[in-house]
Structure 1
Amino acid sequence: MTSLQGAVVLVTGANGGLGTEFVHQALERGAAKVYATARAPREWNDDRVVPLQLDVTDAASIAAVAAQASDTTVVVNNAGASAPSTMLDADLDEVRALFETNVFGPLAVAQAFAPVLTANGGGALVDIHSALSWYAAGNAYSASKAAFWSITNSLRLELAPRGTQVVGVHLGYTDTPMIADLDVPKGRADDIVRRVYEGVEAGEHEILADDTAVWAKSTLSRTVLEQYPQLAAAS
């Protein structure tokens, strides 16, 4: 388990709906400092928040932030992008760009900060996945989140001997600017982040942050036809 009291937290994608909540709620839980990173960092009007420029698809940017934030004890790998295109219609360059942000970027952040967390006592790495890690939606976004989930499972095994708690977070649609145009039921960002930090402090390895994530996880034992009944209709 990892306490937020006195922690130094780094949040990627801090300007977004979830990212902003991760910053604010870390402070509410007693964090001493929060590095709020984004491609275009903003002012936070709080001396405890240190805005840093970070592009998770740029190795030099990640290395620079890891050097500046060498006192970090908790990393929230939150930065991500969406893409609505179906797999067959998707431009492959767009798919590669999506994987750079949702898969290779978070992995690069984890690689850069693993020694930082180890040096500072272990701490925690929190990876933000999706319920779509477990349910294919016929697009590159769900494929990228499935890949990121698998990476987190490997990182958890590799970092456990170093004393680092690796937490995989799964959630459904959440009311953030990234999906503002989707007309679907959405959870509250503050509720999701509260559940995440509670899980981190309780020592959890995997957090199903809402009912959608619980449902998605429950489908993994189904047969392919049970999970995707549209296949039966198509045949």
Structure 2
Amino acid sequence: MSIVLDQSTVLVTGANRGLGKAFTEALVAAGATVYAGARDPGSVTTPGATPVRLDVSDDASVAELAARLGDVTVVVNNAGIGRSGSLLSTPSLDGFREELETNTLGPLRTTRAFAPVLAANGGGAIVNVLSALSWATSPTLAGYSASKAAAWSLTNVTRGELRDQGTLVVGVHVGFLDTDMAADVEGPKLAPAELVRQVLEALQQGEEEVLGDDTSRFVKSVLSGPPAHLVV
């Protein structure tokens, strides 16, 4: 199913900064009606977007918003967090729990809440922002990798369950983006606007996966090789 952007009403989660802000700006420019979700709606600064309060880690927040926004046809599950550290040696698992709540259960909450809305509006689309670290891992980003790996599996589950209602489900993989989250990372970083361009093109063409950069394309290419190749 292809998506006509200037006839779409889009909810972007984590829309106040980084990649979410880039999604919001590009969608407004494309003529879409955009709800910009953030824990603090006052932090949304994109002209033309409607700020809405949303905490994807809170069941009630997601359910309340879905009950109000009955016109949504596309959901962009962008909100995410990263906590550094080893899952085996870090004294507390609290950081990992936070990553799971936001990176894994967050997209699941919004999908469960908005799937009936999308069905009522003809099917629409769900975009899940994943990572090349859905498939590979690093000892310093172990929790983030695990949470994104689970989100990738849930993306596949969602795609299967929502196919009959005509909902396009797009999984987006990328290495590091030039955002605050990766400010301390050395090496190549993709501009958020470039990834957004690819995702919007995929929506328009009805494609189910976006491999946004050389890193994500390489990591996917070695999935069938030795497991050691997936630890960096």
Q: Same fold (TM over 0.5)?
A: yes
AA matched with 1:57: S
2:155 maps to 152
Q: Which has the larger radius of gyration?
A: 1
SS in 2 for 1:75: strand
Query: Which deviates more, 136-145 or 113-122?
Result: 136-145
Counterpart in 1 of 2:62?
A: 62
Q: Distance in 1 between matches of 2:214 and 2:112?
A: 31
**How does 1:199-210 map onto structure 2 within 5 Å?**
199-210=202-213
Aligned equivalent of 1:76: 76
Partner deviation per Cα, 1:126-168 (whole Å, 9 max, x = no partner): 0000000011223110011000000000000000000000000
Question: Who is 2:215 aligned against?
Answer: 212
Q: What's the CA shift string for 1:108-142, capped at 9, x where partnerless?
A: 11000000100111000000000000112231100
Give, in whole Å, the separation in 2 of the partners of 1:74 and 1:45.
Answer: 18
**Aligned counterpart, 1:127:** 128
Pick the aligned partner of 2:177 from 174, 177, 180.
Answer: 174
Residue aligned with 2:223, SS:
helix
2:177–2:192 CA contact under 8 A, matched in 1: yes
Question: Which piece of structure 1 moves more, 71-80 or 178-187?
Answer: 178-187
Partner of residue 189 from structure 1, selected from 184, 187, 192: 192
In structure 2, how many angstroms separate the alpha carbons of the residues matched to 1:121 and 1:99?
30
Match of 1:233 in 2: none
Partner of 1:142: 145
Q: What pairs up with 1:18-167 in 2 under 5 angstroms?
A: 18-31=19-32, 33-41=33-41, 42-44=43-45, 46=47, 48-90=48-90, 91-138=92-139, 139-167=142-170
Q: Which residue does 2:10 correspond to in 1?
A: 9
| Structure 1, unpaired ranges of 5+ | 231-235
Distance 1:186 1:176, change over 3 A: same
Count the aligned residue pairs: 227
Number of the residue aligned with 2:226: 223
Sequence identity percentage: 49
CA RMSD of aligned residues (A): 1.4
1:183 Cα deviation after fit: 2.5
Once residues 152 and 45 of structure 1 are traced to their aligned partners in structure 2, the CA distance between those partners, rounded to angstroms, is 28
Please say if residues 219 and 230 of structure 2, whose CA atoms lie closer than 8 Å, have aligned partners that are also in contact.
no
- How far is the alpha carbon of 1:93 from its aligned partner? 1.8
Residue identity in the other structure for 1:2: I
